[in-house]
Amino acid sequence: MSQTKLTMAALNALDADRFTEILGGIFEHSPWVPRAACAARPFASLDSLHATMVEIVDHAEPEQKLALLCAHPELARRATLTAASAAEQGSKGLDRLDADEAAQFDALNTAYRSRFGFPFIIAVRGQRDRAAILAALSRRVAHSNDQERATALAEVAKIARFRLEDMIKPDGYLTVHALDTATGLPAAGLPLTLYRISDDQRSKIGMWQTNADGRCDSPLLSAGALQIGTYEIIFDVEGWRGGAGDPGFYDLIPIRFRITDPASHYHIPLLLSPYGYTTYRGS
């Protein structure tokens, strides 16, 4: 798998054949998944791409789902692996077991495949170590067929997510979190407006109000909307405090900042007191 990560915009711009080729290994040896996902482009984020691909698998015929499961290699057994599978198994040392571990994996792998008709699948990068993987294999071999098929497909979706994260640059986004230091509580119901600054001219992007946790219900900017440039958030503190009968010292608090990397998380915490405020960029 390429070491250079793609942006979502670059992935969306590919023709269908190249898109399918690049994402063909996200679901093991199953290029039909990204081929079907092409029709849903453009994707706004890695989350939406992953969700679409998982939904395609969920709605596939039972025979296709079984073929997808059977396309995965067994863990801790000598076989020709894709680069992604080899890296995943190697990250937990499944390619260098001692004799006792190898014998346990071999016996349980054989029992599992005999019972269910497909190999044991687990997102190894989400596991603590080999012992945890072996314990999961021992536990899941006792599942019912329907239960285990659902569990295996859920693990396939987790593996796909890890692989997409390896390949695609993360989505950048902008968030805020306002706290009222006078009460020690989140500053709920605080109105704010976001502007983009260009040549000292402000263009309004949108208006929000903080929720009970002092945050907004969604990022102020995300994915393609987060672009390099200068921005300003104006917090309407007077309107917020005025509702309690005390307008306080500040009326509007403007925070101007720069976005330099659209793939980063920009987080602005605002600490309000009756006569002052503190803010800094966090991530």
Number of other CB atoms surrounding residue 124 within 10 Å: 25
Q: How far apart are CA 283 and CA 261, in angstroms?
A: 12
Catalytically annotated residue among 50, 59, 72, 265? 72
Please state, in angstroms and rounded to a whole number, the distance separating the CA atoms of residues 120 and 70: 9
Q: What is the SS3 assignment for 83?
A: helix
Backbone angles phi, psi at 175, to 5 degrees: -135, 165
Q: Using alpha carbons, select from 230, 206, 218, 237 the residue that is nearest to residue 176.
A: 218
Query: Which residues are 268's β-sheet partners?
Result: 176
| Active site annotation includes 59 | no
| Token pair for 123 | 């997102």
In degrees rounded to 5, what are phi and psi of residue 65?
-60, -45
* Alpha carbons 246 and 28: distance in angstroms, whole number: 61
- Annotated catalytic sites, by residue? 72
